[in-house]
Structure 1
Amino acid sequence: MKVVTRQFTAPQSDTLLRILAHRPRNQDELLLHSGGPVTDLSGHSMLPALDSLRFLFFEPWGVEHSEGSALAGEVILGSPPPLVMIRQRMVDGRWISEEETRPASLDEALSEISEHEVNVQHSGAYSTPVTPGGFAGLLGYDLGRWSNSVRLAHTPAPGTLLGVLWRCDAWWVEERESGELRLIALEGHDWLDDELPELAPVEIPGRPESRVPESESDSEHARKVEQIRDSIRGGHLYQVNYGRRWQSEMHGQPWDAFLRMTRSNPAPFASWMNVADHGWAVASASPERLLRLDSGLISTRPIKGTRARGANDAADLALRTELATSPKEMAEHLMLVDLERHDLSAVCEPGSVHWTDCRIEALANVQHLVSGVEGQLSSSTSAGEALSALFPGGSITGCPKVVTMSAIDELEQAPRSAWTGSIGHLNQSAGQADWNILIRTMEARSGPDNWHATVQAGGGVVIDSNPADEVEEARWKAAAVTEATWGFRTGFSSGELPEREVGILPMPEVEGVLGRIRPSEFKPEQETNQAHVLLVDNLDSFTNNIAESLHRLGAKVTIVEGRPAQDTDPEAAVDDWLTTYRPTHIILGPGPSRPEASPRSMELARRALAERLNRVNPSEGDNPESPIPLLGWCLGHQALGRAAGWNLIESPLGAVHGAPSKIRHDGSALYQNTPEDAVLMRYNSLVLEQPDSTKTENESKLKVNAWDASGSLVMGITHTSLPIDGVQFHPESVGSPDGQGLLRLFLATQAIPRTSGSATSKNEQAEQPQR
């Protein structure tokens, strides 16, 4: 079908707001609204026609609930029952149900919906940010259980509406910089016959009658921050994004609250949704993008790291500098950059994912650290698969994602519904998508005259978080939304929390270790290497980054599950891996909790130390008993130590997560080409304890060859004669400028024949790391 475009010169600004403002609220509505200054993020506002098809997602019956404590390392994996998805068609102004289906995953649901897209022929006269015939709407956070297989204790009641997608056969698109207005529609759509009416300016409602919403106490909020920090110390997770809830009946309409937010808190990814017949309205002033896809390039922009706005320019700059130089804030942020690289790598061409930029985006009340991560979407991956892989956004869950989703459920003890879900549009046949993350958001239920509203806000809690600061930050973030909803500023006056001009600002100059951590020029070229690496994923959120780094070095990578939902006999699983994949190298990947939670990694560690991890059907000329080079990575490093009988303890110097750190080493094994005081990213709460002089045979075969800056914590181990190494840091991270050389040396390690004498010949020693 053809696409028809009509172009208008908008006689006034905010034309789409004016169109909606003069409609009754008795029909479905969706508005993607960009506010504030025109930037690379806020060039368009868009209003779709919702008069064709509608898909509704409902919570199923028979959901099995988790009884474990994620904060104690008890994560229950497993898929929920299939979603209830109902397709409806608009007939004479009413939605009529046509079919109910039960997709098993979000990916499957989006694939089914894509079959109802309209394939179009575009004239190409204009470059448009959206193509009619695709879908748009809201995916609530609770749909994340169908993209991340985890069982939770506090799920929505059966029959709860979790999300909605409409087919949008026509769009109004407002070009903010030029003032042009375009109508883009499928040929024959009714909107093409309409003329743009003269519309009166939108009247922004005054402050609502004040009402104090219910919320937990500041002391309870602070106690939960301490619970998270205790869990981090135990090694169970690295960062959790906890959300505090405010809720109450509201005076007036949700639409009025949205209008107030467009003025008091303009944002590039603001949105309004109203599902009239289900009494569900969402008003958002979101500054954050989850995903954008166009012409095969997919990107995300995680936000993490926050300061309030200053009362004047000098105070504002001082707070920005404090933000950029804070180890705690940078740890939060870099951790999320690593997480988003991992999520994108799952759907992108190998070697294409990279960190593009880092800047400060200043909103009316707060200013944030924001980064860009992008890659080239794999030719075998659809737009729906990409959206499912990234959903929900890592910046509003934490690391590792599946573990933190379970911890969030344990702490918040209620479904999140719309908050931290996403609103956006998706056209899989056109390869287009753009979705926000629903933060700075008010959700209202029931209506039309009696609405109950909920606002949530929070932040990423890491080991260095101060409970009082976390409480204050949540109140900063909620202030503009609670004021628009209830006339209540979560305890802050406008003088205490000033409103300033919105803008995008560069990162202040930073010295020291943090000054070395910045996006670098992307070099897509790939090295040549014959290695085939078996990478064991231990439920971590950085595994794909390791694979990505290995791909860039030319290696083939096969990822296997080290901690599956239903574990089988570890010995049988390892035997199957070795015979099926025949790897030349093995990496025991990172993960939460202790290595004993990953029996397959422990089995590989024990075999390696016992000289029973050998090549299967080696190529001609190889020793048939050649041990496979093995690298333990954080939890994998700890697995080697535990298999050798070393103790694993909480770090006496405290947990370190997301912190670029100086690592000392002796120059042996993988460190031969690594600079002294190398900067490498640490993610660890636990450390191996070097045995005393009374050693077992296995203990004596491992030696320490890397330490933290104090020289007291074990950061690396190596075997005295076999190609076995362990590192207590992440060489693949954006916080490891000196990490790639270690990986290159590991891939250069050859399977070393077992001999009674020296582990390597002189020729071999010239080609691979010295033991």
Structure 2
Amino acid sequence: MSYLFVIEKWEREKKELYLKDFFKIEKKYPYCILYGKGNYIIFGEKPLKVFRDFPNNLKFKRFGEKPQILPDIIGFVSYEKGYEYDSKLPDNLNSNFPLSLFFLYKNLKIYSKKTKTLYQCTRETEHYENAYLLEKTKKIFKAKFISTTEDKKSYCEKVRFIKEEIKKGNVYQVNLTRQEEWAFSGDISQFAYRLYQTNPASFSAILEFIDSGNYHSIVSSSPERFFKIGKGKIITEPIKGTINRGNSKKEDLTLKTTLKNSKKDSAELAMITDLLRNDLTKVCISPSVQVKHFKKLLTLSNVHHLVSIIEGKLKTNNMKEIFENIFPGGSITGCPKLSSMQYILKLEKLKRNIYTGSIGWYRADGKQGDFNIAIRTAYTINDKLYFGVGGGIVIDSNEKNEYLETVYKAQSIRKCLENS
């Protein structure tokens, strides 16, 4: 194997910064910002190399005071990449959106909110690609609704179809989604920043890049972690169960209690927790996989969720191997995973692309990493913007309630688009 050697030069300084400071940086080249409620803001710009799959030939030589996390590779994996990982599933799902892309950025900034320290590095390598200029506009972001893949009637019909398949014993749960298409113009980062202000999710991100001559961006406001790797462990945090927020403290508390006591939502979460636990056993030392929390309440600006936390001790640091065994996340497919993915392919009119895929970073040796589940996520193909919403369908799902859940989940993105 021939290695690509990368030289990093790190500097650090004490400095008080805010998310807006990273959005204000002038960006001439493809870039990313990973942000949220965690300890770090990560900014990368000007790719030296772009990979279509997980690179395994990078060697780093680092100088200076480096941070505790090392996001050597930053990128995403689209949902449809999961169909390549199992021979029983079709893999001829062509799309004009990339199945996966990973970036080795020349310029990297990592800001520790906890210590108020900015770490900056520049990278050099012998073999690099000339980065495309973004031709980024500063015009005000504007958007106009075009269509949705499913109206209320057709979505409810598909819910009923899934319930019939469950009755036949063909599947236990299917995550059914719909997507909206919007026309847009102007600076997509204005939309991303507005979305974070109204819906400050834990695993937010923006990426802008060029691929095969097409302009793309991804704006994620995800509350869900797919997995985190560190200290030899992997942690996954699936979300299942949703209820809208109340208009008063009293109503909000009542709705929280309703969600916690919901037999349907508890059953959904239990099913997906077991699926994820089983997935982790494929990449973890036996018998280290444990459910650390079940039915933990997560409160967002417009909805409440139920979350499980599952962890195990890794037996491999190979990121490609990890994804091949656990991607896509069970919370956005259903159970059994392969059967539900076949139903998704049959029922959904539009490829999900990055929606319900994963966005994140990892260290080149695989000993650190953090990836989200790309829900509450919009993506663009040239001048069109798409975003998806959905939910898990089980035997006792109510069709109208399932459709309403997609409406609640769409609110944060829709408001930012409608008010543009």
What's the TM-score bracket when you normalise by the shorter of the two chains? 0.7 to 0.9
Q: How does 1:533-682 map to 2 (within 5 A)?
A: none
Aligned length: 401
Q: Please give the alpha-carbon distance, in whole angstroms, between the structure 1 residues aligned to 2:63 and 2:338.
A: 40
Determine if contact 2:106/2:124 at 8 Å carries over to the other structure.
no
Name the structure 2 match of 1:409: 345
Q: How does 1:35-434 map to 2 (within 5 A)?
A: 35=37, 42-56=38-52, 109-110=53-54, 113-115=55-57, 117-120=58-61, 128-131=68-71, 134-152=72-90, 155-157=93-95, 161-168=98-105, 170-184=107-121, 208=142, 211=145, 213-276=147-210, 277-358=213-294, 359-378=296-315, 380=316, 382-429=318-365, 431-434=367-370
Name the structure 1 match of 2:411: 479
Moved over 6 A (4+): 203-206
- Cα offset, 1:411, TM superposition: 0.8
- Cα offset, 1:322, TM superposition: 0.6
Determine if contact 1:213/1:246 at 8 Å carries over to the other structure.
yes
Name the structure 2 match of 1:30: 32
Name the structure 2 match of 1:13: 18
- Cα offset, 1:385, TM superposition: 1.2
- SS of aligned partner of 2:354: coil
Q: Please give the alpha-carbon distance, in whole angstroms, between the structure 2 residues aligned to 1:383 and 1:160.
A: 22
Query: Partner amino acid for 2:41?
Result: S
Q: Please give the alpha-carbon distance, in whole angstroms, between the structure 1 residues aligned to 2:209 and 2:66.
A: 31
For residues 296-355 of structure 1, what are the alpha-carbon distances to aligned partners after superposition, in whole Å with 9 as ceiling and x for unaligned?
111111011111111122111111111111000001111111011011100000100001
Determine if contact 1:293/1:383 at 8 Å carries over to the other structure.
no
Determine if contact 2:23/2:189 at 8 Å carries over to the other structure.
no
Deviation larger for 328-337 or 270-279: 270-279
Q: 1:458 aligns with which of 383, 386, 390?
A: 390
Q: Please give the alpha-carbon distance, in whole angstroms, between the structure 2 residues aligned to 1:137 and 1:239.
A: 29
Name the structure 2 match of 1:438: 374
- Cα offset, 1:271, TM superposition: 0.6
- Cα offset, 1:418, TM superposition: 1.0
Q: How does 1:674-693 map to 2 (within 5 A)?
A: none
Determine if contact 2:174/2:393 at 8 Å carries over to the other structure.
yes
- SS of aligned partner of 1:51: strand
Asked which structure has the greater RCO (Cα within 8 Å, sep 6+), the reply is: 2
Name the structure 1 match of 2:129: none
Q: Which protein is bigger by CA-based radius of gyration?
A: 1
Determine if contact 1:154/1:413 at 8 Å carries over to the other structure.
no
Determine if contact 1:254/1:444 at 8 Å carries over to the other structure.
no
Determine if contact 2:97/2:353 at 8 Å carries over to the other structure.
no
Determine if contact 1:119/1:429 at 8 Å carries over to the other structure.
no
- SS of aligned partner of 2:389: strand
Determine if contact 1:292/1:433 at 8 Å carries over to the other structure.
yes
Identity rate, percent: 28
Name the structure 2 match of 1:470: 402
Name the structure 2 match of 1:555: none
Q: Report which of the two has the higher share of strand.
A: 2
Determine if contact 2:45/2:108 at 8 Å carries over to the other structure.
yes
Q: Please give the alpha-carbon distance, in whole angstroms, between the structure 2 residues aligned to 1:422 and 1:481.
A: 18
For residues 373-407 of structure 1, what are the alpha-carbon distances to aligned partners after superposition, in whole Å with 9 as ceiling and x for unaligned?
110001x5523311332211111001111111110
Query: Partner amino acid for 2:191?
Result: A
Q: Please give the alpha-carbon distance, in whole angstroms, between the structure 2 residues aligned to 1:316 and 1:114.
A: 48
Determine if contact 1:288/1:437 at 8 Å carries over to the other structure.
yes
Determine if contact 1:232/1:463 at 8 Å carries over to the other structure.
yes
Query: Partner amino acid for 1:363?
Result: L
Q: Please give the alpha-carbon distance, in whole angstroms, between the structure 2 residues aligned to 1:420 and 1:214.
A: 17
Unaligned stretches of 5+ in structure 2? 1-5, 127-137
RMSD: 2.6
Determine if contact 2:89/2:342 at 8 Å carries over to the other structure.
yes
For residues 456-479 of structure 1, what are the alpha-carbon distances to aligned partners after superposition, in whole Å with 9 as ceiling and x for unaligned?
100111111111110000011111
For residues 203-233 of structure 1, what are the alpha-carbon distances to aligned partners after superposition, in whole Å with 9 as ceiling and x for unaligned?
9978x56646444210111111111111100
Unaligned stretches of 5+ in structure 1? 36-41, 57-108, 190-202, 489-771
